[in-house]
Amino acid sequence: MKPKNYLIKEKRSEAPSVNSLILNKQLDSKLGQFYMVWAKGIDEIPISPSSVNPGRLTIRNVGEASEKLCQYKAGEKVGLRGPFGSSFEERGEKILLVAGGIGSAPILPLAKKMRDKEITIALGGITKEELLFVSKFRELGNTIVATEDGSKGYQGYVTEAISDLDISAFDSVYSCGPEPMMYKVFKRVRDKEIFAQFSLHRYIKCGVGLCGSCCIDPEGLRACDEGPIFNKNELKNSEFGSYKRDSCGRKTDLI
Ligand SMILES: Cc1cc2nc3c(=O)[nH]c(=O)nc-3n(C[C@H](O)[C@H](O)[C@H](O)COP(=O)(O)OP(=O)(O)OC[C@H]3O[C@@H](n4cnc5c(N)ncnc54)[C@H](O)[C@@H]3O)c2cc1C
């Protein structure tokens, strides 16, 4: 599949290390799916849109390719291949969304889609400047905020900020963010009658299920094909929460 070019209509700074590229066209991805996005001359990286209409990519600058994408300007073109992977499934009436850092990007369109339900949103960031889309989330539901430095909301991890919530009161839980954060959420829902889905940000190379770079032990589930959205039952007894693989396939720590 060849990349399709989109014109960048607008560029927006969301946080010191995060920029959004607003595209000239609508995207046709389902909630939580991703595109392989070309950073010219460098690499192609997976990004889940933070909006499909208009198309919007929200990118945290963490390395070479994401830095290049964050440098793109309005009027330039960006190439997208996709959409790929599995998507969030809307279920239940009482919903908990837990997002950390850039994980807020794919959670925002899900929150918008479920706005007519009773939603609680838990947002975590390192500092208040790095929290994403707080005012947008506040319009959609009860929003709990946590920052590691205490500059906004609860001081500490978002999982600690929601430790008093009665998780059994929710029909469904959705989460995206650092894997140790998602794993804490997973442990709370694992053995309960709660529908739960997690968006795994693993190292994805081909995006189409061929190369095996993003396989998850022991079943070999591919984060790019069976994922990136996994139901809790698919993650039980897997490497989720323990380790991931780097660009060479070596096991590495999660953070
Ligand atoms: C399905 C999916 C959706 C994603 N959606 C978004 C999004 O909407 N916005 C966004 O900013 N990022 C998103 N990511 C993460 C993004 O793809 C990585 O940050 C990017 O690939 C890093 O590439 P790089 O060349 O800039 O950094 P590299 O030089 O490759 O790596 C720099 C650092 O980032 C880490 N890293 C590399 N790949 C990933 C990865 N896949 N996830 C997390 N950390 C990684 C490396 O371990 C290293 O520490 C998503 C990832 C997946 C799998």
Is the Cβ–Cβ distance between 121 and 142 less than 8 Å?
yes
Q: Is residue 158 part of a domain?
A: no
Is residue 19 domain-shared with residue 109, that is, in the same domain?
no
Regarding whether 180 and 79 lie in a shared domain, the answer is no
Asked if 104 and 226 sit in the same domain, the reply is yes
Give how many domains the chain has, as a whole number. 2
**Residue 129 domain flag:** no
Mutate to test the pocket of ligand 1, among 20, 47, 68, 81 (most ligand atoms within 8 A of CB): 47
Co-location of 114 and 195 in the same domain: yes
Cα distances from 48 to residues 85, 157, 218, 233, in angstroms, run 10, 23, 26, 23
Residue at token pair 């906004």: 152
Query: Of ligand 1's atoms, which has the minimum distance to the CA of residue 50?
Result: 8
Between the alpha carbon of residue 175 and those of residues 54, 122, 151, the distances in Å are 23, 9, 23
* Cα distance between residue 97 and residue 208, in whole Å: 27
On whether residue 150 sits in a domain, the answer given is no
Residues 177 and 246 reside in one and the same domain: yes
Query: What is the CB neighbour count within 10 angstroms for residue 161?
Result: 20
Q: For strand 154-155 and strand 34-39, is the pairing parallel, antiparallel, or unpaired?
A: unpaired
Q: How far, in Å, from the CA of 189 to the mean position of ligand 1?
A: 26
Residue ranges for the chain with pLDDT beneath 70: none
What range does the domain containing 23 cover?
4-84
Residue 59 belongs to a domain: yes
172 and 54 within one domain: no
Same domain, 67 and 111: no
Domain identity same for 98 and 179: yes
Q: Nearest CA to 21 among 41, 1, 50?
A: 50
What 8-state DSSP symbol labels residue 66?
Answer: H
46 inside domain: yes
CA atoms within a 13 Å half-sphere pointing along the CA-CB vector of 191: 2
CB 84 within 8 A of CB 225: yes
pLDDT value of residue 247: 87
Q: Which atom of ligand 1 is nearest to the CA of 42?
A: 25
110 and 43 in one domain?
no
- Closest atom of ligand 1 to 47 CA is 5
So what's the pLDDT on residue 199? Answer: 98
- Report if residue 148 sits inside a domain: no
230: β partners = 198
Are 232 and 212 in contact, with CB atoms under 8 Å apart? no
Q: What is the largest CA-CA distance in the chain?
A: 50
Whether 71 and 112 map to the same domain: the answer is no
**Ligand 1 pocket member 95 (CB < 6 A):** no
| Ligand 1 site, residue 204, Cβ cutoff 6 A | yes
Atom of ligand 1 nearest to the CA of 105: 8
At 115-155, the pLDDT tens digits run: 999 999 999 999 999 999 999 999 999 999 999 999 999 99
- Residue 62 CA to residue 42 CA, distance in Å, equals 14
9 and 105 co-located in one domain: no
Return the CATH number at 70: 2.40.30.10
- Tokens at 111, concatenated: 């929150």
Are 19 and 110 contained in the same domain?
no
Ligand 1 within 6 A of CB of 46: yes
Alpha carbons 198 and 181: distance in angstroms, whole number? 11
Q: Is residue 80 part of a domain?
A: yes
Residue among 109, 133, 57, 49 nearest 85 (CA): 49
8 A C-beta contact, residue 14 and residue 61: no
In a domain, 60, yes or no: yes
